[in-house]
Amino acid sequence: MIKTDVLVIGAGPVGIFVVHQLGLIGLKAEVVDNLDKIGGQCIELYPDKPIYDIPAVPECTGESLTKNLLEQIKPFKINFHLNERVQEVSEEKNNWKIITSKNKIFLAPNIIIAGGVGSFEPRKFPIKEAEKFENNGVFYSIKDKSYFKNKKICIFGGGDSALDWAIELSKIAKVILVHRRVEFRGVEQNVETVKKLEKEGKLKIKTPFQINSIDGQDKINAISIKNEDGNIEKIDTDCMLGFFGLIMKLGPIAEWGLNLEKKHIPVNVENFQTNKKGIFAIGDICTYPGKLKLILSGFHEGALAARACFKLARPNEKYRFEFTTTSKSMHERLGVKDK
């Protein structure tokens, strides 16, 4: 059993920042995330896309933001439990008992849910044959682009993920971009780039087409695609990449007895506590009048939730607000030498 002051569910930017806020006031946190890496949706959806609304940072990517947030919490030596989902939450005296999908047990007076809008998984190809070849010819994300070098690839989708990877993989592979509509929904620059690459013969575009079937036994040999008129084209290919967006799922959170509003969790804006004492929700998953789904808003929510956690984790101590510029105790926790 792992005892801690706060269990944070979600290792995205807001989850990482709340760990910093907890550490500043002397609270220990453990972090659980169902993804296999730290960074949440920033890393999963747009690691290389520019973000323009982080205070004092004119432009950064999801990856660089995550890297800097992790650098900020280094002094607190936080344990991250990745590829793990919280399955059960139950009350035990003045604590919450939390059991994960890997049967780890945590005991904490506070839980902060910072899980975006719950766990998310990719929308998949609508044909049964796709399941057979998943991760063996059919992919919904790319971890190592060198795997696709010199291969014949069909990329499906009309958003920026599909366009980005069509542009990138066209440098090392033979790419066909397939979309069910004539118009793409990605940013104009990406659309112009793929059309330019098509004119230069560096990739092919097939619209409006959708997947019809997959041929192959142990590996994919070919696929067929069908247009709106029912015409079918066969394409020799080694791999299929599907970028159809993500399906958001609350998962077990829906069974914890929390009030829910359209898959979001209503909170008290004074401290971002839910209807359960000691369970807080911050970031995209929480809702309240005037809510803005911005990383900036999540940082603010986390700062207030962290202070509320202090009262439950240290019931016999009085919380005293301090500024990081002058607090000696905060400097000690950060390893800063006073001048």
Of 15-29, 157-171, 317-331, give the lowest mean pLDDT range. Answer: 317-331
Q: Quote the CA–CA distance of 59 and 333 in Å, as a whole number.
A: 29
Helix (H, G, I), strand (E, B) or coil at 175: strand
Quote the mean pLDDT of the chain: 91
| Selection from 241, 53, 250, 24 nearest residue 152 by Cα | 241
Calculate mean pLDDT across residues 127-135.
Answer: 91
Mean pLDDT along residues 291-311: 95
What is the distance between the alpha carbons of residues 100 and 106, in angstroms, rounded to a whole number?
8
Rounded to an integer, what distance in angstroms lies between the CA atom of residue 257 and that of residue 283?
A: 19
Checking if the pLDDT of 120 tops 70, the result is no
Please work out, in degrees rounded to the nearest 5, the angle formed at the alpha carbon of residue 27 by the alpha carbons of 23 and 29: 80
Q: What separation in angstroms does the CA of 330 have from each of 15, 24, 89, 277, 337? A: 20, 5, 32, 27, 11
Residue carrying structure tokens 């909170």? 267
pLDDT at 247 over 60: yes
Q: Write down the CATH number for the domain with range 124-244.
A: 3.50.50.60
Band of pLDDT at residue 103, cut at 50, 70 and 90: very high
The per-residue pLDDT for range 310-324, each reduced to its tens digit, is 999 999 998 888 888
pLDDT at 45: 64
Confidence label for 332 from pLDDT (cuts 50, 70 and 90):
confident
- The three-class DSSP label of residue 306 is helix
Inter-axis angle of helices 295-313 and 13-24, nearest 10: 40
Task: Verify cis geometry, omega within 30 degrees of 0, for the bond prior to 266.
Answer: no
Region(s) of the chain under CATH 3.50.50.60: 2-121+247-334, 124-244
**Domain 2-121+247-334: homologous superfamily in CATH:** FAD/NAD(P)-binding domain (3.50.50.60)
Sorting pLDDT into bands at 50, 70 and 90, what band is 249?
Answer: low
Distance CA 170, CA 204 (A): 10
Euclidean distance between CA atoms 208 and 224, whole angstroms: 13
Summarised one tens digit per residue, pLDDT across range 175-200 is 999 999 999 998 899 999 999 999 99
Q: What is the pLDDT of residues 28-85, one digit of tens each?
A: 999 999 888 888 877 766 666 778 889 999 998 888 999 999 999 999 999 999 988 8
Q: What number is the average pLDDT over the span 242-264?
A: 81
Annotate 247-272 with b (16+ C-beta within 10 A) or e (fewer): ebebbbbeebebebeeebbbbeeeeb
Q: Evaluate whether 267 touches 280 at the Cβ level (below 8 Å).
A: yes
164 backbone φψ class: left, alpha, beta (φ>0; ψ -120 to 50):
alpha
Task: Report pLDDT for 242.
Answer: 95
Mean pLDDT of 105-119: 86
